[in-house]
Amino acid sequence: MKTIRYELADGIATITFDEEGSPVNTMCADWQADLTEVTAQVMRDCANIKGIILASAKSTFFAGADLKGTMRLQASDAPAVFASIEQTKKNFRTLETLGVPVVSCINGAALGGGWEVALMGHHRIAVNDPKIQLGLPEITLGLIPGASGITKMVRLLGLMGAQPYILESKLFNPREAQELGLVHELVPPEGDVAAALRSAALAWIATHPHSRQPWDAKDHKIPGGTPSNPKVAGMLTVASAVLKQKTRGLYPAPEAALAAMAEGAMVDFDTALRIESRYLARLIVSPVAKNMINTFFFNLNAIKSGQSRPQGISRYKPKKVGILGAGMMGAGIAYVQAGRGIRTVLEDVSIETAERGKSYSFKLTQERVDKGRMSPYDQRDLLDHIHPTDHPGDLRGCDLIIEAVFENRELKAAVTKEAEPMLATGGFFASNTSTLPITGLAQASSRPQRFVGIHFFSPVDKMKLVEIIRGKETDDETIARAYDYVQALGKLPIVVNDSRGFYTSRTFGTFVMEGAAMLGEGIPAPVIENAAVQAGMPVGPLAVLDETALSLSVHVLDQTRADVEKEGRSYAATPGELLVERMVREFKRPGRAAGGGFYDYPAGHKKQLWPELKTRFEKPDAAWDLQDIKDRLLYRQSVETARCLAEGVLTTVHDGNIGSIFGIGFPAWTGGALQFIYGMGIEAFERRCGELASRYGAGFALSDAVKKAIRQHQPVY
């Protein structure tokens, strides 16, 4: 066998998972075949078996499904998938119904299928290490737990109790698992843990010669009751409605999981397993599952493992970082840094402004203290890491200085020249600009090779993505250090090359401006906003423009015009940009912060669309198609992303997908702006772009270079 070792000695059958040539154990095709073989061997030896121990030879217990194999599945494979799932469950049931004790020795992470393997044990023993993760994260990948996870967790925790761990993919460590009754015994993390686990397992087997699963007892009842209980039925109805509101019908996995939970609770155990298998077989071959697996597993792991980081450069973490500008962005960066133990100098033109920036950290930490999520000691420690000042000299000795001042080239140049000499030897300088080209900003630096863009997203404490921008002269060491700094903050770095708007702001701009352009065409604003949400965007383009400020968009437009004119060219503003300019300059509607933009914000009431949009822009005779509106909003972003790939602004697919989802809210069901193309099929995408370009303009046109880039970067599994 290639993935399992079997040993029978002194009446104890030890099944050790040890996938050949892999750092982790997975439910690959070889493992499924080996499990069937080892189960047959156990049946042959059963007269001589007093107990079974499930163990792992890896540093983790079991990693779960073979996701590369999943990516290769076609819709026609669903029946074969169903059969293989059923065979795996048959093996599980054979081992756990022999009547002899089965013990799972959980030495490390057991996620997804790995946790389902662990649930085979009547008694589960884990290493008491809070870093070990256990649970069922399948929903985050567009799948459901289908190797008995749903059926068993419902019977262990009840329909309501199991929901967070199935529908929300809530993970837990061994101590939390013990409190839930999912793990029965813990061993210390020190010393020979494998020996400790085995010793505990043998002791339990010796005192429990006859054992079975709780759901195989005749008197077993699901905690809290079944759907036949009116109270449970009522809660399930509410749960279903809430789920539908969250998924908008775009994510089939949570709905399938809830259905499998409810339906399985109304039938016997083995029938419930079959119901679960049917739902998984249907989901696992679906486009949404492939999209989400591609991005939330493979692409996310590429980012976390540093595939976009220059190699051969030692790891780095700055000890002291200066922030120029204590406004919303600067204050947010200071908070995140201080929370990671980095000494932070928060500098602004006045001590009052700097102190106000620090008070943002007090506000956020006090909320956590009030809810019992943070101790006053930890709050004080975090705040002590932030030094507000109006003296540039306090920046002396910083390993990194980040300017987070207003989007004005002259201002940024001035603060760069003032602060850069304060850097420690070998330190580097960064700009938090969201649109201005880094190469141009680096002209104010005496060391442009040590100048980089580090673009945070607002609010910094909540947004996971950080965009690292390489200027023309930025060297590899600076990019690597910026990457390490971002990871030290617990955030996701993507690396892009310099360009106006870089990748995220440039692509985000196409979304909001396409929405504004549609308003200018006479399409009703409510239709545009609702279409965006139906397509899976967090909010509509007009609402986003209000939040980020229409006046900021006009400022960027003015800056772009000026920059292009300096190059001896004229800038042709898009219809969306012209409409936003009218909103600000003609109608005096600069955005939410200044009182209102596309929306009004009455005190004490929900926001509502500005009534005059209807009279000033809406055209009663304007023809519109809902699918076209949704496609325009999504395709326009994907086209721009593909253009970034063709131009070298993006150099990898994983940076594009992760950047689009975590930076600009591209719908997760698509797997990101590039996976949207690959999931649909390149030819189908090109055809639809041609249709949209013929109706709505060159923003949807694909050049030969773009088509070539899409094909060159297509992922292969």
**Per-residue pLDDT at 717 exceeds 90:** no
Establish if 297 belongs to a structural domain.
no
**Per-residue pLDDT at 575 exceeds 90:** yes
Question: What DSSP state is assigned to residue 310?
Answer: P
Examine the fold and report which residue of 265, 285, 305 is the final residue of a domain before the chain moves on: 285
pTM of the model: 0.92
Residues 27 and 161 in one domain: yes
pLDDT of residue 502: 93
Whether 541 and 528 have beta carbons less than 8 Å apart is answered as yes
Write the CB contacts of 86 (distance below 8 Å, at least 6 apart in sequence).
274, 277
Whether 1 and 38 have beta carbons less than 8 Å apart is answered as yes
Establish if 526 belongs to a structural domain.
yes
At residue 408 the predicted structure's pLDDT band, cuts being 50, 70 and 90, is confident
Whether 254 and 292 have beta carbons less than 8 Å apart is answered as no
Using CA atoms, how far residue 1 sits from 22, 34, 73, 254, 674, in Å, is: 14, 6, 24, 36, 39
Residues 59 and 188 in one domain: yes
Examine the fold and report which residue of 456, 475, 498 is the final residue of a domain before the chain moves on: 498
Domain count, the chain: 3
For the chain, percent of residues with pLDDT exceeding 70: 100
Residues 354 and 491 in one domain: yes
Establish if 158 belongs to a structural domain.
yes
Helix, strand, or coil (residue 209): coil
Q: Average pLDDT for residues 236-256, to the nearest whole number?
A: 91
Question: What tokens were used for 125?
Answer: 């023993």
Residues 461 and 537 in one domain: no
pLDDT tens by residue, 123-179: 999 999 999 999 999 999 999 999 999 999 999 999 999 999 999 999 999 999 999
Residues 477 and 537 in one domain: no
Residues 618 and 518 in one domain: yes
At residue 270 the predicted structure's pLDDT band, cuts being 50, 70 and 90, is very high
Maximum CA pair distance of the chain? 89
Helix, strand, or coil (residue 617): coil
Establish if 174 belongs to a structural domain.
yes
Residues 544 and 527 in one domain: yes
pLDDT tens by residue, 616-642: 999 999 999 999 999 999 999 999 999
**Per-residue pLDDT at 399 exceeds 90:** yes
Establish if 314 belongs to a structural domain.
no
At residue 435 the predicted structure's pLDDT band, cuts being 50, 70 and 90, is confident
| Region class of 472: left (phi > 0), else alpha (psi between -120 and 50), else beta | alpha
Write the CB contacts of 650 (distance below 8 Å, at least 6 apart in sequence).
496, 497, 503, 641, 644, 656, 659
pLDDT of residue 570: 86
pLDDT tens by residue, 174-217: 999 999 999 999 999 999 999 999 999 999 999 999 999 999 99
What rounded mean pLDDT belongs to the chain? Answer: 96
pLDDT of residue 434: 87
**What burial letters (b/e) apply to 336-360, b meaning 16+ CB within 10 Å?**
bbbbeebbbbbbbeeeebbbbbbbb
**Per-residue pLDDT at 244 exceeds 90:** no
At residue 465 the predicted structure's pLDDT band, cuts being 50, 70 and 90, is very high
Using CA atoms, how far residue 101 sits from 9, 165, 696, in Å, is: 15, 26, 67
Q: Domain of 16: which CATH number?
A: 3.90.226.10
Amino acid, single-letter form, for residue 609: L
The structure tokens 């840094």 sit at: 337
Write the CB contacts of 468 (distance below 8 Å, at least 6 apart in sequence).
452, 453, 454, 455, 479, 482, 483, 486, 493, 494, 495, 496
Write the CB contacts of 682 (distance below 8 Å, at least 6 apart in sequence).
710, 711, 714
Whether 211 and 184 have beta carbons less than 8 Å apart is answered as no
Examine the fold and report which residue of 473, 498, 523 is the final residue of a domain before the chain moves on: 498
Helix, strand, or coil (residue 486): helix
CA distance 136 to 126: 16
| Residue 462 burial (CB count, 10 A) | 9
pLDDT tens by residue, 499-538: 988 999 999 999 999 999 999 999 999 999 999 999 999 9
Residues 227 and 269 in one domain: yes
At residue 566 the predicted structure's pLDDT band, cuts being 50, 70 and 90, is confident
pLDDT tens by residue, 80-101: 999 999 999 999 999 999 999 9
Establish if 307 belongs to a structural domain.
no
pLDDT tens by residue, 355-380: 999 999 999 999 999 999 999 999 99
Q: Which helix (H) or strand (E) holds 496?
A: strand 492-497
Could you tell me how far CA 453 lies from the centroid of its own chain?
22
**Per-residue pLDDT at 397 exceeds 90:** yes
CA distance 594 to 600: 11
Q: Domain of 642: which CATH number?
A: 1.10.1040.50
Question: What tokens were used for 258?
Answer: 């809830």
Could you tell me how far CA 227 lies from the centroid of its own chain?
33
Residues 98 and 209 in one domain: yes
**Per-residue pLDDT at 657 exceeds 90:** yes
Residues 482 and 535 in one domain: no
Whether 95 and 302 have beta carbons less than 8 Å apart is answered as no
Q: If you write DSSP's letter for every residue of 242-302 in order, what string do you get? A: HHHHHHTTS-HHHHHHHHHHHHHHTS-HHHHHHHHHHHHHHHHTSHHHHHHHIIIIIIHHH
**Per-residue pLDDT at 560 exceeds 90:** no
Residues 582 and 446 in one domain: no
At residue 387 the predicted structure's pLDDT band, cuts being 50, 70 and 90, is very high
**Per-residue pLDDT at 556 exceeds 90:** no
**What percent of the chain is helix, strand and coil (3-state, nearest 5)?**
55, 15, 35
Question: What DSSP state is assigned to residue 692?
Answer: H
Q: Average pLDDT for residues 410-428, to the nearest whole number?
A: 96
**Per-residue pLDDT at 419 exceeds 90:** yes
| Residue 24 burial (CB count, 10 A) | 18
pLDDT tens by residue, 35-58: 999 999 999 999 999 999 999 999
Phi and psi, residue 97, nearest 5° = -115, 15
For the chain, percent of residues with pLDDT exceeding 90: 91
Establish if 161 belongs to a structural domain.
yes
Residues 517 and 489 in one domain: no
Establish if 293 belongs to a structural domain.
no
Q: Domain of 350: which CATH number?
A: 3.40.50.720
Q: Tell me which residue range forms the domain holding 425.
A: 320-498
CA distance 453 to 181: 49
